[in-house]
Amino acid sequence: MESLKIVPAKLDSLLSRPLYRYIIIGGSIYVFELFVIFFAQYLGASSLFAVGLSFWLGLIASFLLQKVVTFKDRRAHHKVLIPQIAVFSLLVLFNFGFTLLVTKLFSPPLHPALTRTIALGLTTIWNFYLYKTRIFRASDEFIVQ
């Protein structure tokens, strides 16, 4: 019976860390985005359209889950939310342009799912840092430095 208690304790320990929650949520969004790419292409969409669509749908889900679940930021006051959305939007525009650039440069010969994976891997690194230190940080005040 004690071994059953150890597994949840280890899982709780992992999920208590924002990095692990970030990776789990990010991985789930990644799978969702891949589904969108393959489904959109199945329906006849171009590589660029399929990747763009997956980016935007994944983005909406990711923002909400990362804010509320990963960084436990439930602040919804307009003085916090509006600056968060503004800075997040700038980051999104940069990431979107970067993603389309990677897709344009490498597709073909690479499949759009692979170009999206490459872009996502790179953006994940700087996104975590900016989310944690600037956008969803735990302080009561939102400040862009």
> pLDDT tens for residues 53-108?
998 898 888 888 888 888 888 877 788 778 888 888 899 899 989 989 998 898 78
- Dihedral of CA 130/131/132/137: which sign? positive
pLDDT value of residue 145: 44
Q: Is the pLDDT of residue 45 over 90?
A: yes
The residue-averaged pLDDT of 25-36 equals 90
CB 57, CB 92: distance < 8 Å: no
Distance separating alpha carbons of residues 112 and 50, to the nearest angstrom: 8
Q: Is the pLDDT of residue 35 over 90?
A: yes
Q: Is the pLDDT of residue 18 over 60?
A: yes
Read off the tokens for 57: 């749908």
* CA angle, 129 then 29 then 23, to 5°: 40
- Asked whether the whole model's pTM tops 0.75, one would answer no
Inter-CA distances, 9 with 1, 21, 41, Å = 13, 15, 42
CB 78, CB 140: distance < 8 Å: no
- Cis preceding-peptide flag for 109 (omega within 30 of 0): yes
pLDDT value of residue 4: 52
pLDDT value of residue 101: 93
CB 61, CB 36: distance < 8 Å: no
